[in-house]
Amino acid sequence: MAKPLPVSPLARPLPDLATIAGVRLSAVAAGIRYQGRTDLMLAEFVPGTVAAGVYTKNACPGAPVLWCRTALTTPYARALLVNAGNANVFTGRAGIQACSDCADATAQLLDCPPQDVFLASTGVIGEKLPQDRIIGALPAAKAGLDDNGWADAARAIMTTDTFPKAARRDVKIAGTPVRIQGIAKGSGMVAPDMATMLAYVATDAKLPQNILQSLLSSGCSQSFNAITVDSDTSTSDMLMLFATGLADNPEIDDINDPALAEFTLALNDLLLELALMVVRDGEGATKLVRIGVTGAESNLSAHRIALCIANSPLVKTAIAGEDANWGRVVMAVGKSGEPADRDRLSVAIGGTWIAKEGGVVENYDEAPVVAHMKGQEIEIIVDLGLGDGEARVWTCDLTHGYIDINGSYRS
């Protein structure tokens, strides 16, 4: 971009970040696309670290996604290398070769097999990745590895993000203190269909890969897979969880073990916090929108209806204009293709029911609705009156800022 983007009015400051035993990170400037800022992050994990991941279902994934899917067939990770400014997508054999070259170079530096190196790229699609610049920056990245490198790493992976995103939780597994900490990037091309743009979480907990993967997939469904900015599923979406095992908690071999309950809740909460930061940083966003759907025929049906409302440009622009246009919500429900009955449908905004069972609530008080629409956090509830299905998703409003950013993304 020609000039820095203004920070989102919904931004959140970085929390008090700590260290994760067995994880060191660094951030360097490789000059991939941006000038005068870091654009390459390296994370090193202690030998024995276990990895789990979920990746985009976009049918045109980037070369790094293909690399990581293959690397995840073994349980271990020693390194994570992420660049910003170039997505390494739609680059054919050159993209695959770039991944191989970067993994080989990183493996040599850290003395590990290339398949233990995970890769990610984010940025412009269709341009050849300048892997020579990345490889040339690796010695400085290795030299800069630090236990406290989390904040710098979060900044290095930003593209159109206006603030770095991170979250932390401290909990216990069977009385043993463990920590979970993660970073994320994303603000546009956000309609995850597995995870998000890029998000990386690490813990010092000792957990086998099958449980780690189950925890991540389950937590993703209620967080990163419940957000949307613009309905576009990125070619580079990736969410990974790394467990170093250095907390040395008692062995866990069942995901339903009561000893894991506190950890599970904390992980789910951290994933949701990171996901909501992505929505808060939605390109041009000025409002965070929570959409709840109840009374659907199934939870899946409720989820699809909620996303249809969240992705509607008419709903999103009405919210941007602070107009409680509930008719647009009804329209979105009707076009979803899911079971709905006009004469059972009810809509509430900010806790005030505007429409009930197919009609406007007579003499409803519009004042609290008007006041609610002027706030930064908007809530829309839809009840279909058909069954017990329910879901919640989050989105943001749609302003001219989204056009400004995406109309000049490559310039």
**For the segment 83-107, what is each residue's pLDDT rounded down to a tens digit?**
999 999 999 999 999 999 999 999 9
Contact 255, 263 (CB under 8 A): no
pLDDT above 70 coverage of the chain, percent: 97
| Residues whose CB falls within 8 Å of the CB of residue 111, separated by 6 or more in sequence, listed in order | none
Of 147, 163, 282, nearest in space to 228 by CA: 282
Task: Concatenate the DSSP letters of all residues of 205-223 into one string.
Answer: ----HHHHHHHHHHHHHTT
Give the integer Cα–Cα distance in Å for 115 and 71.
Answer: 5
Average pLDDT of every residue of the chain: 94
Is position 159 annotated in a ligand binding site?
yes
Is position 19 annotated in a ligand binding site?
no
Is position 58 annotated in a ligand binding site?
no
Give the integer Cα–Cα distance in Å for 381 and 94.
Answer: 48
- Whether the pLDDT of residue 10 is over 70: the answer is yes
Burial code of 266-291, b = ≥16 C-beta within 10 A, e = fewer? bbbbbbbbbbbbbbbbbbbbbbbbbb
Mean pLDDT of all residues in 370-378: 97
Give the integer Cα–Cα distance in Å for 198 and 306.
Answer: 23
pLDDT tens figures, 189-207: 767 776 557 999 999 999 9
Contact 69, 55 (CB under 8 A): yes
Residue type, 272: L
SS (H, E, C) 8-51: CCCCCCCCCCCCCCCEEEEEECCCCCCCCCCCEEEEEECCCCEE
Is position 406 annotated in a ligand binding site?
yes
pLDDT tens figures, 343-352: 999 999 999 9
Is position 196 annotated in a ligand binding site?
yes
User: How confident is residue 409, by pLDDT bands cut at 50, 70 and 90?
Assistant: low
- Whether the pLDDT of residue 210 is over 90: the answer is yes
Q: At what angle do helices 63-71 and 92-110 cross, to 10 degrees?
A: 50
pTM: 0.94
Catalytic residues: 196
**276 secondary structure, DSSP code:** H
Of 233, 303, 275, 241, nearest in space to 57 by CA: 233
- Whether the pLDDT of residue 1 is over 50: the answer is no
Top pLDDT among 394 and 125 is at: 394
- Whether the pLDDT of residue 186 is over 60: the answer is yes
CA dihedral (3, 395, 320, 328) in degrees, to 10, reads 150
pLDDT tens figures, 308-353: 999 999 999 999 999 999 999 999 999 999 999 999 999 999 999 9
DSSP-derived 3-state class of residue 350:
coil
CA dihedral (260, 183, 303, 189) in degrees, to 10, reads -160
Is position 185 annotated in a ligand binding site?
yes
- Whether the pLDDT of residue 255 is over 80: the answer is yes
Give the integer Cα–Cα distance in Å for 402 and 118.
Answer: 31
Contact 151, 112 (CB under 8 A): no
| Residues whose CB falls within 8 Å of the CB of residue 326, separated by 6 or more in sequence, listed in order | 347, 349, 354, 355
User: How confident is residue 406, by pLDDT bands cut at 50, 70 and 90?
Assistant: confident
pLDDT at 408: 67
pLDDT at 2: 52
Contact 99, 84 (CB under 8 A): no
pLDDT at 149: 98
Task: Concatenate the DSSP letters of all residues of 53-122 into one string.
Answer: EEE---SS--HHHHHHHHHTTSSB-SEEEEEEEE---S-HHHHHHHHHHHHHHHHHHHTS-GGGEEEEEE
pLDDT at 283: 84
